[in-house]
């Protein structure tokens, strides 16, 4: 090899060596940068840690946890964030009200007692105030929230486990290091000994949370970290997740069965209604100025009705109406004690008559009572859940008048109640000064989308109310003089034979107009075709089902259609 070639080879060798050194250096830098975060200690060590369902949420707390005389106190703001989004301070009675799935508890600030589901019990601790912040005696609320609480003094950690979630333990088969992250290159958060028992963290699918062969665990010290999956033995499920059973399997199909409060329940003996699984007779109304009292109009006829319904496999969710007692309703909504009086009366009636649920039909309220009506629903739901009764709440379309539409917080009602019933009728109602349809398809569809969109209600909670009636709009000399309701089954009897029906594809119904003695009659017809179009929206939007106002206004043939469309 020539001298020049040797020199060039030497230079090339040096370049390659430098490149290798640079590559190794960059590799080391990358490795260090990659694993360094795994060794940074992010634990909170200067305050009591709070671990809820195997998640350390200490950094997300708005206020520190307080430990005082063996009582764990958590601020109202943090209770709202992590346990009860509707926890409420009642200024009138200086008390905190908190609810869970089947419990409602109230604690007067400074008192060592709690009213839980109507029963007063003594408790350790009370609601206290620190730095203008209210704190709840969390230790005393474990039964309300259905949780287990454990304070670990050695690590100054509180663990909270919901009893309705899956809980799994396992043993370590050797002395082990619990890592902060699922990799060997990670800092140690705790040590466990051979045969020491740990809690195995579950993922959203109720399976062990395993990442790349590492299982997340919680140690006896309340520390969360990872160990090799193979290092765990003797896995044992202490309890499985409690699945919430739907009140109705499949679609809901409910017939309102109206009768006047001074009349008797209809006699359905010997009959059946095809295509339904729920009936809602109008058994109950508020007593005017009754401060939560309920008029019970069941009687012997109602008892026979209940027996008939259950015999035929129908659930019975009687309605309770407030109309037209707007001031009585307002008085009750604005007073916790009166709300509880009404709730106690409802619960008593459900138990007395072995009812399957209640349909709240409060339709005429002040818009300024909207949030308090929501409070009533929030406080009623756990009491009904405790006895296994269904709660459905009737509401009107959004974006209407103050006392008929703006008086509902549909999002909260839909979140709390088992079902929210959209009364999708009276688009043009009795008080309208302009003739129009009772329930046009396009209007119903647009409002369903409002429920799902701007109101934030889950589709599976929405029952679509469908009318079995329409109106005859009578116009004389260009002025509306009357608009009487007409039953769906009677429509064809009042329309002259020579009148022409015109199909409106936007409304999905026929329109007819005819003159009689100088009066123009206008009818937007509700029939099988218009009802079928509205029923199709239940499948299109995967709604919970349908309800019909009201029984006995319909032709018999409508039930075959309903049965087919809803699969009942």
Q: What is the mean pLDDT of residues 487-498?
A: 96
Q: What is the mean pLDDT of residues 204-218?
A: 95
At 1, the pLDDT band (50, 70, 90 cuts) reads: low
- Domain 252-566's class? alpha beta
Q: In this structure, what are the phi and psi dihedrals at residue 112, rounded to the nearest 5 degrees? A: -95, 50
Residue with tokens 């419990």: 103
Residue 242: predicted pLDDT:
87
Kindly report, residue by residue over 162-191, the tens digit of the pLDDT. 999 999 999 999 999 999 999 999 999 999
Residue 33: predicted pLDDT:
44
User: How large a percentage of the chain has pLDDT more than 90?
Assistant: 89
Q: What is the mean pLDDT of residues 513-536?
A: 97
For the chain, the average pLDDT equals 94
Q: Are 125 and 140 contacting, i.e. CB atoms less than 8 angstroms apart?
A: yes
Kindly report, residue by residue over 539-565, the tens digit of the pLDDT. 999 999 999 999 999 999 999 999 999
23-33 burial: b if 16+ Cβ within 10 Å, else e: eeeeeeeeeee
**The domain 164-239: what is its CATH number?**
2.30.30.40
Q: What is the mean pLDDT of residues 442-467?
A: 98
Residue 30: predicted pLDDT:
46
At 21, the pLDDT band (50, 70, 90 cuts) reads: low
Residue with tokens 């005696």: 137
pTM: 0.92
Residue 225: predicted pLDDT:
96
Q: How far is CA 139 from CA 90, 136, 143, 161, 367, in A?
A: 21, 9, 9, 13, 38
User: Is the model's pLDDT at 360 over the cut of 70?
Assistant: yes
Domains of the chain by residue range: 49-148, 164-239, 252-566
Beta-strand ranges (E) seen in 153-231 are 157-162, 167-172, 176-179, 188-192, 197-200, 210-211, 214-218, 224-228
Between 428 and 40, the higher pLDDT residue:
428
Q: What is the mean pLDDT of residues 316-329?
A: 96
Residue 450: predicted pLDDT:
98
Kindly report, residue by residue over 113-148, the tens digit of the pLDDT. 999 999 999 999 999 999 999 999 999 999 999 999
CA pseudo-torsion sign 275, 278, 279, 285: negative
First to last CA, the chain: 95
How is domain 49-148 classified at the architecture level of CATH?
Answer: 2-Layer Sandwich (3.30)
The candidate with the shortest Cα–Cα distance to 567, out of 272, 248, 275, is 275
Q: What is the mean pLDDT of residues 26-42?
A: 52
Residue 45: predicted pLDDT:
80
Kindly report, residue by residue over 382-419, the tens digit of the pLDDT. 999 999 999 999 999 998 899 999 999 999 999 999 99
């Amino acid at each position: 090899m020539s001298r020049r070639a040797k020199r060039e080879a030497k230079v090339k060798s040096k370049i390659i060596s430098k490149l290798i050194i640079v590559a190794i250096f960059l590799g080391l830098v990358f490795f260090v940068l990659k694993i360094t975060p795994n060794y940074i200690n992010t634990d909170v060590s200067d305050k009591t840690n709070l671990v809820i369902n195997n998640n350390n949420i200490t950094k997300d707390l708005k206020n520190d946890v307080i430990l005082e005389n063996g009582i764990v106190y958590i601020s109202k703001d943090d209770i709202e964030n992590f346990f009860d989004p509707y926890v409420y301070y009642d200024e009138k009675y200086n008390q905190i009200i908190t609810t869970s799935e089947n419990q409602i508890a109230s604690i007067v600030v400074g008192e060592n007692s709690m009213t839980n589901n109507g029963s007063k019990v003594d408790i350790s601790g009370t609601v206290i105030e620190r730095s203008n912040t209210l704190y709840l005696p969390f230790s005393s609320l474990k039964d309300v929230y259905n949780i287990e609480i454990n304070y670990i003094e050695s690590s100054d950690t509180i663990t909270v486990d919901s009893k309705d979630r899956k809980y799994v333990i396992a043993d370590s088969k050797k002395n082990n290091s619990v890592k902060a992250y699922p990799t060997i290159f990670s800092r140690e958060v705790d040590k466990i000994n051979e045969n020491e028992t740990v809690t195995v963290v579950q993922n959203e699918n109720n399976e062990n949370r395993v990442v790349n062969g590492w299982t997340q665990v919680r140690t006896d010290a309340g520390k969360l970290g990872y160990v090799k999956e193979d290092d765990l033995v003797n896995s044992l499920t202490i309890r499985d997740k409690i699945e919430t059973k739907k009140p109705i399997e499949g679609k809901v199909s409910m017939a309102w069965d109206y009768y006047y409060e001074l009349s008797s329940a209809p006699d359905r003996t010997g009959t059946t209604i095809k295509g339904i699984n729920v009936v809602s007779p109008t058994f109950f109304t508020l007593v005017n100025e009754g401060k939560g009292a309920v008029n019970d109009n069941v009687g012997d006829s109602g008892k026979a009705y209940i027996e008939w319904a259950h015999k035929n496999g129908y659930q019975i969710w009687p309605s309770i109406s407030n109309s037209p007692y707007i001031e009585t309703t307002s008085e009750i909504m604005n007073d916790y004690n009166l709300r509880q009086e009404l709730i106690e009366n409802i619960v008593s009636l459900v138990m007395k008559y072995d009812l399957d649920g209640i349909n709240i039909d409060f339709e005429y309220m002040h818009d300024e009572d909207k949030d308090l009506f929501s409070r009533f629903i929030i406080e009623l739901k756990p009491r009904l859940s405790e006895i296994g009764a269904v709660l459905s709440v009737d509401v009107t379309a959004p974006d209407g008048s103050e006392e008929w539409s703006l008086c509902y917080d549909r999002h909260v009602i839909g979140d709390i109640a088992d079902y929210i019933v959209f009364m999708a009728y009276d688009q043009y109602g009795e008080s309208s000064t302009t003739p129009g349809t009772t329930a046009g398809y396009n209007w119903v569809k647009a409002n369903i989308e409002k429920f799902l969109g701007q109101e934030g209600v889950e589709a599976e909670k929405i029952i679509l109310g469908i009318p079995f009636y329409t109106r005859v709009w009578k116009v004389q000399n260009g002025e509306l003089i009357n608009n009487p309701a007409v039953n769906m089954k009677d429509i064809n009897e009042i329309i002259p034979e020579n009148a022409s029906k015109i199909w409106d594809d936007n409304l999905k119904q026929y329109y007819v107009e005819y003159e009689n003695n100088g009066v123009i009659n206008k009818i937007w017809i509700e029939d099988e075709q218009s009802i079928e179009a509205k029923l199709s929206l239940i499948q299109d939007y995967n709604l919970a089902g349908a309800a019909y106002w009201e029984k006995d206004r319909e032709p018999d043939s409508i039930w075959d259609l309903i049965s087919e469309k809803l699969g009942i």
